[in-house]
């Protein structure tokens, strides 16, 4: 099978011909159809974060495909099922986080495309209990971006507890942001989209944003203050300074939802204590979403409530695709067709 492999944090990915893996007990073998390129895959390939994956590994945590074979003991999935292989590739199932609906916080978790080989390949094996069924009404090309960008922003909007009419500022209208805008609208928010590319802001308007701010031309804090300040700021951009701007744009009682994960070398975000206390600000970290969150994301999409904007590439062009994400030359999400 063809696979895109990280062999070194300082080198481009290599396309390799590898044997098709066999499903171990409890696993499924999936023939991947579509696989989205998340900015996290770029962080993974470069070893950007404090906890690093171990090369060689296959990135990709938005793989969607059809079950081709099942390992012994698998009863929950069957050959022919279409499934998604999300970031949460495995959790222990019995710690306090797992049993209280917070499996995404499990300390024993394994992550697809990071600690286990992911979806940038024609085939992948996965824990049968942690793949998520893709309903018939959701095309694989749409299901792929929903598998991380969708579930992550859906969860970020859930944890912000938005009341209808609250102002929600979304910083970064890329793969995650184009879906965040839509979930914020679905819960009744007034949406302010912030990016540095006019093309992304045009897309945000098209997807329902009420206001747009080009942070390369206008100070986003002043622009949002002029609108009365944000009740919620969801940060999806990859620079600590954007988190600080988002914090500054909050009104009293505001919630800062941190989702973007800049490289460790970019340093921390600095939060001033005085306004945090006086304004009663909550700072919330939000990491992907559960299997149930993803099932809800697919259901909403099957109902026609969300639109996925993506462009198709070949896996052979993975390095060009990464360059295009880094330079903003893409529309929302790149999806590899396999």
**Binding residues for ligand NAD (CB under 6 A):** 38-40, 43, 148, 152, 171-177, 194-197, 200, 215, 236-239, 242, 259-261, 286-288, 325, 328
CA–CA–CA angle 102, 107, 112 (5° rounding)? 85
Q: How far is the CB of 285 from Zn ion (least distance, A)?
A: 15
Sign of the torsion angle spanned by Cα atoms 170, 171, 174, 175: negative
Pairing verdict, β 2-5 and 14-17: antiparallel
| Binding-site partner at residue 300 among Zn ion, ligand NAD, none, CB < 5 to 8 Å by type | none
Q: Which does 173 bind (CB under 5 to 8 A by kind): ligand NAD, Zn ion, none?
A: ligand NAD
**Among 15, 66, 69, 92, which residue sits at the site for Zn ion (rule: CB under 5 A)?**
92
User: What percent of the chain is helix, strand and coil (3-state, nearest 5)?
Assistant: 30, 25, 40
Contact (Cβ atoms closer than 8 angstroms) between residue 23 and residue 71 = yes
State the nearest-atom distance from the C-beta of 271 to ligand NAD, in Å: 18
196 touches, from ligand NAD, Zn ion, none (C-beta below 5 to 8 Å by class)? ligand NAD
188: left (phi over 0), alpha (psi -120 to 50) or beta: left
For the bound state, the minimum distance from the C-beta of residue 261 to ligand NAD, rounded and expressed in Å, comes to 4
Q: What is each CA distance from 276 to 70, 175, 256, 270, 282, in whole angstroms? A: 51, 30, 10, 11, 8
Six token digits for residue 268? 């921390």
Q: What is the DSSP letter of 134?
A: P
- H or E element: which one contains 299? helix 291-302
Q: Decide if 257 contacts 158 (C-beta within 8 A).
A: no
* Nearest CB to ligand NAD, comparing residues 27 and 245: 245
Question: Cβ of residue 87: shortest distance to ligand NAD, in angstroms?
Answer: 7
Tell me the residue nearest to ligand NAD as measured from the CB. 174
Angle between helices 198-206 and 175-186 (to 10 degrees): 30
Binds 338: which of ligand NAD, Zn ion, none (CB < 5-8 Å by kind): none
CB 106 to Zn ion: min, Å: 3
Span interacting with Zn ion, options 67-75, 90-98, 117-125, 301-309, rule CB under 5 A: 90-98
Q: Which is nearer to ligand NAD, 55 or 263 (CB)?
A: 263
For residue 301, the partner it binds in ligand NAD, Zn ion, none, with Cβ less than 5 to 8 A by kind, is: none
What is the SS3 assignment for 206? helix
40 binds Zn ion (CB under 5 A): yes
Q: CA neighbours within 13 Å on the CB side: how many for 180?
A: 36
Structure-token pair, residue 228: 């009365």
Residue (20 or 95) nearer to Zn ion, CB: 95
**Looking at beta carbons only, is 23 or 60 nearer to ligand NAD?**
60
State in angstroms the smallest separation of the CB of 300 from ligand NAD.
Answer: 18
Question: Length of the chain in residues, anyone?
Answer: 338
Which partner, ligand NAD, Zn ion, none, binds residue 306 by CB below 5 to 8 Å per kind? none
Q: Which stretches of the chain bind Zn ion, using CB under 5 A?
A: 38, 40, 91-92, 95, 98, 106, 148
């Amino acid at each position: 099978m063809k696979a895109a492999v990280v062999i070194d944090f300082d080198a481009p990915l290599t396309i390799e011909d590898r044997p098709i893996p066999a499903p171990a007990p409890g696993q499924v073998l999936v023939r991947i159809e579509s696989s989205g390129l998340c900015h996290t895959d770029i962080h993974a390939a470069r070893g950007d974060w404090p906890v690093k994956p171990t090369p060689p590994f296959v990135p990709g945590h938005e793989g969607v495909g059809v079950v081709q074979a099942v390992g012994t003991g698998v009863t929950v999935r069957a050959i022919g099922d279409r499934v998604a292989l999300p970031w949460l590739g495995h959790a222990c199932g019995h710690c306090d986080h797992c049993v209280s609906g917070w499996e995404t916080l499990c300390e024993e978790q394994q992550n697809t495309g990071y600690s286990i080989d992911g979806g940038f390949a024609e085939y992948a094996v996965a824990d049968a209990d942690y793949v998520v069924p893709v309903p018939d009404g959701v095309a694989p090309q749409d299901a792929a971006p929903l598998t991380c960008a969708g579930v992550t922003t859906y969860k970020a909007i859930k944890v912000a507890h938005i009341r209808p009419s609250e102002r929600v500022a979304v910083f970064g209208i890329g793969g995650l942001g184009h879906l965040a805008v839509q979930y914020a609208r679905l819960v009744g928010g007034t949406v302010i989209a912030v990016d540095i590319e006019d093309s992304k802001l045009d897309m945000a308007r098209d997807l329902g944003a009420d206001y747009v701010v080009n942070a390369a031309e206008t100070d986003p804090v002043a622009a949002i203050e002029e609108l009365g300040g944000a009740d919620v700021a969801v940060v999806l951009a990859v620079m600590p300074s954007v988190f600080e701007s988002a914090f500054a744009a909050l009104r009293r009682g505001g919630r800062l939802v941190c989702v973007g994960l800049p490289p460790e070398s970019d340093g921390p975000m600095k939060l001033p204590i005085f306004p945090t206390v006086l304004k009663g600000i909550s700072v919330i970290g939000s990491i992907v979403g559960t299997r149930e969150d993803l099932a809800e994301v697919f259901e909403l999409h099957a109902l026609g409530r969300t639109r996925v904007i993506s462009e198709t590439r070949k896996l052979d062009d993975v390095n060009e695709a990464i360059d295009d994400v880094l330079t903003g030359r893409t529309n929302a999400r790149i999806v590899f067709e396999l």
